[in-house]
Amino acid sequence: MLLLRLLLKNAFRHKLRSALTLIGLVVAICAFGLLRTIVDAWYAGAEASASTRLVTRSAVSLTFPLPLNYGERIRAVQGVSGLSWANWFGGVYVTERNFFPQFAVDPPSYLALYPEYVLPDAQRQDFLRDRQGAIVGRKLADKFGWRVGDQIPLRGTIYPGTWSFTLRGIYDGVDASTDEQQLLFHWKYLSESIRQRPGANPARVDSVGVYVVGIREADDAALISQRIDALFRNSLAETLTETEKAFQLSFVSMSEAILVAIQAVSLIIVVIIMAVMANTMTMTARERLAEYATLRVLGFSPGFVVRLLAAESLLIALVGGLFGIALTLPLAAFVGRAVGTLLPVFRVSELTLLLQLLAALLVGAVAAAWPAWRISRIDIVAGLRHVG
């Protein structure tokens, strides 16, 4: 207790300097945590993907559709346990600012492949029965204040016109990593609506954007992917099949340079506050040379003096780090609401909190290294003559 009181007294002897150092630590640790959370949110879709799901798309580009009749041939491939399909819709709700993903899907097979979408049985049945029905994630419904039974109008971009959907269900994610900011509706409704339009292109009517393939064993993913792609090799619409994680990462790779820059900035922030903290501890050690020399005269070993300074640095860093971590959580919640559907899963992970704490302790340890080494070699006589 005596040592702790001594540390607290020394750490906050210069209140203004200690306060400014703590503020810098809090800001740095908080910024470090937020930047890491942004990177984690970018990878959230890939990390939440299932190892037993594959995605089959056009080998040319995702914008090229695949024929609907590919489905039965894929379903017959050895190792395939389930099959569904989806089209990106790209509609606009009121204004372009209200962006959120919308997919035309085959509801029975699609929901069977995505058990992480938890939907009440009554709402599931209503959705399956209503060809014009739709379901949305909980976060998206809360954002726009939607309730079951509401009409959701979307202005088509890829598929022109005004489309209206009846909200038949609101699903919850099985855990925090599940995307709850998307809208799903019937692929048949989309197909039939296009078919009824004058001059409709039959190839576009009976086509899908991607096939979602369920497999029995995750270890067979590469082999099954090869089998599927071999079916359509040298055809007019060749396919590329990959794991759902690889499919998600293909989108992340488009902004990889930005993510590397964000990670670099987060590390630079830690290095900067480390330099600031080191300067603070160097000033502290220089001012207290006479005190440290007196402790040596009283019989305290050089190791005790070094531990005293190091413990003071670690205490300041720990206090600043804990405040920074505490501030990160509400700020992350605010940022998550601000970015909305752009980063649908925005949460501070346990790993990020641990890294924040370790970064704070690292700053404290490194900042004390140089001044601690200097006072360990202090000349007692010179130290007693020193005036801080």
**DSSP assignment of 123-135, as one string?**
HHHHHHH-TTEEE
Q: Are 290 and 388 in contact (CB under 8 A)?
A: yes
State mean pLDDT over 24-30.
Answer: 90
Question: Exposed e or buried b for every residue in 284-306, given b needs 16+ CB within 10 A?
Answer: bbeebbebbbebbeeeeeeeebb
Report which of residues 167 and 366 the model is more confident about.
Answer: 167
Q: Indicate the residue type of 276.
A: V
- Cα of 81 vs its chain's centroid, Å: 30
Q: Are 171 and 118 in contact (CB under 8 A)?
A: yes
Q: Indicate the residue type of 251.
A: F
Q: Global pTM?
A: 0.77
Model pLDDT for residues 236-295, shown as the tens digit of each residue = 889 999 999 888 887 776 667 787 888 888 888 888 888 887 777 776 656 565 555 565
pLDDT at site 231: 93
| Rounded distance between C-alpha atoms, residue 245 and residue 331, angstroms | 29
Confidence of residue 73 (pLDDT cuts 50, 70, 90): very high
